[in-house]
Structure 1
Amino acid sequence: MDGRLPAHVEVNGFVRAVQAVGGFGMVLHKGERDGGTILIVLVDNQGLGVLYERMPQLDGTRKWQESRVQVSDNKSDFDDYLNRRSQQDCDVWIVELTVADRERFIRDNLTPA
């Protein structure tokens, strides 16, 4: 056993954490209940998203890292990428979180203690 939380529990925790600070969270794509990969889209005040996913590190851990940024002059490219990811991996979870202070949310919820 690897000590990892089931995906559905972790996703629920992210949504509740955002709601606790007055934000909004929703699941865009529901993946495999226990072991699915989780992608987090943090949306800013302008409606632009930044995609975070866990990336393997040299020490064997998996750290949340920014992997894609939505730009205002081509929003559809970002959405197309998310659609491709969900079609390529039916086990993936895509969670959209809208929060006023994105940097604080990242620091408090996506970085290891």
Structure 2
Amino acid sequence: MDRLPSGLLVGAMLRRANDAGGSGMVLAKGDAQAGGILALVVEDGRERLFERGLGPDGAPALIESTPRDDVTGYWQRRRARDPDLWVIELIVAGAQRLVAETIAAS
């Protein structure tokens, strides 16, 4: 099965966050077709990073990649090494679930 374009997935997550009464923004714009997506989720005052990866069974899964400290520095270093990477911030209740439903399932 072909994956949906990254730009489409990012737009869907931003709209879903807005529709749920939260907010979302693009911190770094990546490749519209095939860029990876790193989602900075802010819930209950905590910042966590999630991205699409492969689970133990080889199926697409949501992977948490939050560093122990300096979340901003981490995503900026990742972005410097991968200019195609999208970085988005979502501030909304249930943001982790929203990301999982959008990027891990596509």
- Scaled by the length of structure 1, the TM-score of the pair is 0.79
In 2, the alpha carbon distance for the partners of 1:7 and 1:59 equals: 23
Which one has the largest radius of gyration? 1
Secondary structure of residue in 2 paired with 1:68: coil
Task: Measure how far apart 1:45 and its partner are.
Answer: 3.7
Tell me which residue corresponds to 1:53.
51
Tell me which residue corresponds to 2:87.
94
Q: Unmatched 5+ residue regions in structure 1?
A: none
Aligned residue pairs, count: 106
Moved >6 Å (runs of 4+): none
Task: Measure how far apart 1:69 and its partner are.
Answer: 5.5
With over 3 angstroms needed to count, the CA separation of the structure-2 counterparts of 1:78 and 1:57, relative to structure 1, is same
- Scaled by the length of structure 2, the TM-score of the pair is 0.84
Tell me which residue corresponds to 2:64.
66
In 1, the alpha carbon distance for the partners of 2:100 and 2:4 equals: 20
RMSD across aligned C-alpha pairs, in angstroms?
A: 2.4
